[in-house]
């Protein structure tokens, strides 16, 4: 009897988890919030087969508010699906820079590689031409100094200014990290003709003569030993070829097949590239800095992590942000000292595609109020850091009625965040949501009835009190029928939903 009860609860919680997945995929914040308020453990639910969690679905569809909601509940930010992809990888693949910003602010690991070809989030962003995502991914590695553009050409001096990552990787190592077959992010941007990504990667120190290797499962039609110029010749974009040549790419370099970039262009009938790849330029070509290069990003990200990125509304007009006219000013731009809120400063660094100004060095962004070049942001004296509160537990316990590992009742009660019911949600949209009011009697293993999603009011008597009002004989008859109906209802829901999600994978 107990086994049948566990099976019934499993199907019931599976249906609830599928509802959360649908809400995360469709961007229904209120539905997702209600489901997670009812049972926070659903944040670690994943679909059958693809193992895509609600965090994966929300990130792939660009719903950054739901992503922030799930992270605040303590879900593993680096959770992988069956392909080995994290939510950050899927957000970079589809170009949802707001989700990438949210994940980076929560310190998501950008060095994770997938199980297919060893690609990182940077590879996926370069492959699909998302320059903003590349800029946000490297926010912790580009120092907010005016000499960055000059020092990046001298890598030995540049490493003194770049902050160390948690894994000890430098900016040069991250930019030139090879995937399966030795393919770098610069190879992918050159192959697909993404000029902005190519330009940005080169300005950040990507090696122009990095070659591929004959290793792994990647099918390379060009051959091992190919440089990014070989890939640009195969892609057929003349602008990419010109930028690579201007940055020192060799026209005479041959790969393992003995092909030069010109031979690759001729083999694939890229006849419009013969003039560019046949004769080297007579004069040295100079290129302007990438419009997506952003120096003040690191400074404002540090302030956002320390003091939050959604402040309180301004109490008077003097403290009000002049850009959004909503939040209180928390940061000041270096140089002109114009004050902004942290959220507007983050958006300015993410969306600006003009990295030069008449009064600023390369990589500075123009101030929205006076057009002065901003190199860094400084925290105002009135900006206070966030209070140190208990962080939500990252490893949520797994109950027996979900697609997760089983734990005993004592471990589930100790590890579940039900003991910390007050969680504040923060997102880039500056919305504020009330704290959760959680029911500690949710989803227990010995429960005989599938919990309902309808919140019980305080005036309604408890479940045991209701049972006491019935006679034992009448309860056995009515309860057995209702239990059977609930079990069959949840069974139908769990059978119909997995095919929809398997179709997407």
| Co-location of 287 and 301 in the same domain | no
| Co-location of 331 and 343 in the same domain | yes
Task: Decide: helix, strand or coil at residue 322.
Answer: coil
Backbone torsions φ then ψ of 374, nearest 5 degrees: -100, 125
Q: Can you tell me the distance from the alpha carbon of 455 to that of 210, in angstroms, rounded to the nearest whole number?
A: 59
| Co-location of 276 and 302 in the same domain | no
The count of domains in the chain is: 2
* CATH number of domain containing 280: 1.25.40.20
The predicted model gives 67-72 an average pLDDT of: 93
Q: Can you tell me the distance from the alpha carbon of 460 to that of 73, in angstroms, rounded to the nearest whole number?
A: 28
* CATH number of domain containing 369: 3.30.40.10
| Co-location of 345 and 252 in the same domain | no
Q: What is the CA radius of gyration of the chain?
A: 27
Task: Note whether residue 370 is domain-resident.
Answer: yes
Sheet strands side by side (includes 339-340): 339-340, 331-333, 377-379
Domain limit, last residue, from 235, 268, 293: 293
How does DSSP classify residue 175?
H
Domain limit, last residue, from 262, 293, 324: 293
pLDDT confidence of residue 107: 94
The predicted model gives 239-256 an average pLDDT of: 94
pLDDT confidence of residue 315: 53
Lowest mean per-residue pLDDT among 254-258, 341-345, 381-385, 453-457: 453-457
| Co-location of 183 and 289 in the same domain | yes
* CA dist list (Å): 226 to 170, 206, 277, 429: 25, 15, 15, 44
Task: Note whether residue 119 is domain-resident.
Answer: no
| Co-location of 281 and 354 in the same domain | no
pTM of the model: 0.74
| Co-location of 255 and 329 in the same domain | no
Nearest-5° angle of CA 164, CA 185, CA 363?
A: 60
| Co-location of 287 and 354 in the same domain | no
**Buried residues in 466-495 as b, exposed as e (16+ CB within 10 A):** eeeeeeeeeeeeeeeeebeebbeebbebbe
How does DSSP classify residue 377?
E
424: confidence class by pLDDT, cuts 50, 70, 90: very low
| 8 Å CB contact between 256 and 223 | yes
Domain limit, last residue, from 379, 408, 441: 379
359: confidence class by pLDDT, cuts 50, 70, 90: confident
| Co-location of 238 and 316 in the same domain | no
**Domain residues for 231?**
178-293
Q: Higher model confidence: residue 228 or residue 279?
A: 228
| Co-location of 325 and 257 in the same domain | no
Q: For the chain, what is the mean pLDDT?
A: 75
Nearest to 92 by CA among 47, 138, 156, 52: 138
Task: Note whether residue 275 is domain-resident.
Answer: yes
Q: Can you tell me the distance from the alpha carbon of 32 to that of 453, in angstroms, rounded to the nearest whole number?
A: 12
pLDDT confidence of residue 43: 80
| 8 Å CB contact between 215 and 172 | no
Q: Can you tell me the distance from the alpha carbon of 461 to that of 478, in angstroms, rounded to the nearest whole number?
A: 19
């Amino acid at each position: 009897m107990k086994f049948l009860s566990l099976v019934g609860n499993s199907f019931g919680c599976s249906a609830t988890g599928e509802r959360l997945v649908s809400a995360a995929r469709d961007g229904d914040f209120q539905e997702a919030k209600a489901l997670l308020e009812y049972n926070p453990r659903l944040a670690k639910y994943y679909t059958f087969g693809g193992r895509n969690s609600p965090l994966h679905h929300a990130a792939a569809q660009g719903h950054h508010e739901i992503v922030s909601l799930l992270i605040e509940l303590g879900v593993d930010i680096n959770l992988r699906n069956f392909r080995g992809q994290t939510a950050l990888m899927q957000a970079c693949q589809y170009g949802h820079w707001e989700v990438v910003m949210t994940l980076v602010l929560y310190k998501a690991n950008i060095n994770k590689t997938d199980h297919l070809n060893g690609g990182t989030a940077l590879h996926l962003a370069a492959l699909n031409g998302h320059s903003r995502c590349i800029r946000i991914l490297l926010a912790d590695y580009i120092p907010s100094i005016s000499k960055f553009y000059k020092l990046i050409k001298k890598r030995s001096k540049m490493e003194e200014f770049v902050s160390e990552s948690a894994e000890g990787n430098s900016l040069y190592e991250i930019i030139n990290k090879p995937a399966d077959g030795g393919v770098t992010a610069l190879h992918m941007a050159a192959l697909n003709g993404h000029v902005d990504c190519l330009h940005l990667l080169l300005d950040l120190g990507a090696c122009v003569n990095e070659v591929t290797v004959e290793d792994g499962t990647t099918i390379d039609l060009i051959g091992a030993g190919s440089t990014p110029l070989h890939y640009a010749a195969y892609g057929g974009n003349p602008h990419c070829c010109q930028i690579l040549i201007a940055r020192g790419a060799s026209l005479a370099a041959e790969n393992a097949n003995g092909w030069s970039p010109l031979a690759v262009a001729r083999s694939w009938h890229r006849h419009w590239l013969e003039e560019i790849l046949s004769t080297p330029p007579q004069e040295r070509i100079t290129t302007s800095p990438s419009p997506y290069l952003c120096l003040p990003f690191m400074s404002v990200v540090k302030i956002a992590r320390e003091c939050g990125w959604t402040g309180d509304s301004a109490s008077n007009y003097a403290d009000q942000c002049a850009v959004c006219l909503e939040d209180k000013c928390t940061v000041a731009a270096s140089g002109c000292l114009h004050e902004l809120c942290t959220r507007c400063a983050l958006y300015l660094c993410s969306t600006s595609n003009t990295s030069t100004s008449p009064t600023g060095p390369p990589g500075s962004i123009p101030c929205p109020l006076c057009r002065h070049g901003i190199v860094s942001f400084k925290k105002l004296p009135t900006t206070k850091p966030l209070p140190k509160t208990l962080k939500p537990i990252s490893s949520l316990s797994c109950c027996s009625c979900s697609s997760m590992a089983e734990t005993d009742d004592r471990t589930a009660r100790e590890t579940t965040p039900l003991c910390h019911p007050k969680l504040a949600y923060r997102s880039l949209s500056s919305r504020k949501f009330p704290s959760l009011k959680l029911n500690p009697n949710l989803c227990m293993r010995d429960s005989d009835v599938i919990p309902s999603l309808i919140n019980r009011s305080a005036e309604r008597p408890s479940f045991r009190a209701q049972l006491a009002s019935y006679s034992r004989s009448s309860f056995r008859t009515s309860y057995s029928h209702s239990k059977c109906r609930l079990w069959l209802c949840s069974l139908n829901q769990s059978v119909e939903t997995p095919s929809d999600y398997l179709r997407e994978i």
